Amino acid sequence: MKKSKCNRSSGIGGQAVLEGVMMRNKDDYAVAIRKPNGEIDVEVEVFHSIFQGSVLTKIPFIRGVFNFIDSLRIGMKALNYSASFYEDEDAKETKLDKALDKVSGGRGESILMGITTVFSIVLAVGIFILLPYFLSSLLSEYVRNTSLLSIIEGDIRILIFFIYVVGISMMKDIHRLYQYHGAEHKCINCIEMGRPLTVHNVMRSSRIHKRCGTSFLFFVMFVSIILFFFIRVDSPMLRLGLRILLIPVIAGISYEIIRLAGRTDNILVRIISAPGMFLQRLTTKEPDESMAEVAIKSVEAVFDWKAYLKETFGYEVDDSWMTDEPASYEED
């Protein structure tokens, strides 16, 4: 059987959650969770964007901002759902929960999720955008060259991000989350390389993928360095304000780059994708077969991978293929 050696974008994406994987295909998304009793629970829902129907979601370099916000919303919702399987059964509703439900008409959980999302964004801006600026400004008395200061600021930003990634990867619970992250990537790579979605094929696929959120965050760091290097103002407060105001611009540019990286495989794309893919070796870990099973369930709930293989690679998959025996074609 002949198959392409180059990945074909399937359009699906996802993220790891607590003991599971969320997969999204257009407006449909599924969360598959390995429950404490060992069973796999699969929840399928339709995501309703708050920007539904807006023409802005189709304009290049602007749509990335709205896509990023939607991704945060769906990611938080999936994480909260997965955590519900492992909550303390004796936990009682707090006074804050009751007050929010009363004021919001029963939408207290959604409000808390929104507050948490906003707080996470503010914290990320403070740590990865503002902190590097303040640390580099401490050197202004010793470094008179503004271009060099901008480069130092960018280096500090990347260093903080790297330390953060390495630090949380050492936590036991995060390690398992990263294993499910690896399972998510392996499933997508498996079908985009034209392989039937079996545990065997998933386990032998790569855990590194160009469209990963880790790569997106690295592009955010990289693009911010370039923009801040060329935008020069004298006022320190104005410089600080511009760094905050330019965040949507940075996110929009980064989104277009990662879209291009997912669809193109030329030498330039491989070069700019290399650092982010290197970081993925820290944010993904090799999953076990039980984790691959969970990820497969999540994919199958929202994506017809057999139809995709037929349309993209030109062959049909029947039941005789669905084994975990080694496939007959050569390894890549």
- The pTM (predicted TM-score) of the whole model is 0.86
> Within a 13 Å sphere around the CA of 313, how many CA atoms are in the beta-carbon half?
25
CA–CA dist 299, 117 (Å, integer): 26
User: What are the pLDDT digits (tens) for 6-40?
Assistant: 457 888 999 999 999 999 999 999 999 999 999 99
pLDDT at 140: 84
User: What are the pLDDT digits (tens) for 256-266?
Assistant: 999 988 888 88
CA–CA dist 273, 213 (Å, integer): 12
pLDDT-derived band at 1 (thresholds 50, 70, 90) equals very low
pLDDT at 331: 38
pLDDT at 78: 94
156 Cβ contact list (under 8 Å, min separation 6)? 131, 132, 135, 136
Sign (positive or negative) of CA dihedral 292, 294, 297, 303: negative
Average pLDDT over residues 142-162: 90
Give the β-pairing of 28-34 and 40-46. antiparallel
Percent of residues, the chain, with pLDDT higher than 70: 86
Q: Is 62:13 a contact under the CB 8 Å cutoff?
A: no
Q: Identify the bridge partners of residue 43 per DSSP, sorted by sequence position.
A: 31
Average pLDDT over residues 63-83: 90
Which of 6-15, 124-133, 275-284, 292-301 ranks highest by mean pLDDT?
Answer: 292-301
Mean pLDDT of the chain: 86
pLDDT at 316: 87
Average pLDDT over residues 204-219: 93
> Within a 13 Å sphere around the CA of 215, how many CA atoms are in the beta-carbon half?
26
pLDDT at 98: 56
Going edge to edge, which strands form the sheet with 13-17?
Answer: 13-17, 20-25, 28-34, 40-46
Sign (positive or negative) of CA dihedral 93, 105, 73, 43: positive
Helices (H), 193-288: 199-203, 213-230, 236-245, 247-263, 267-283
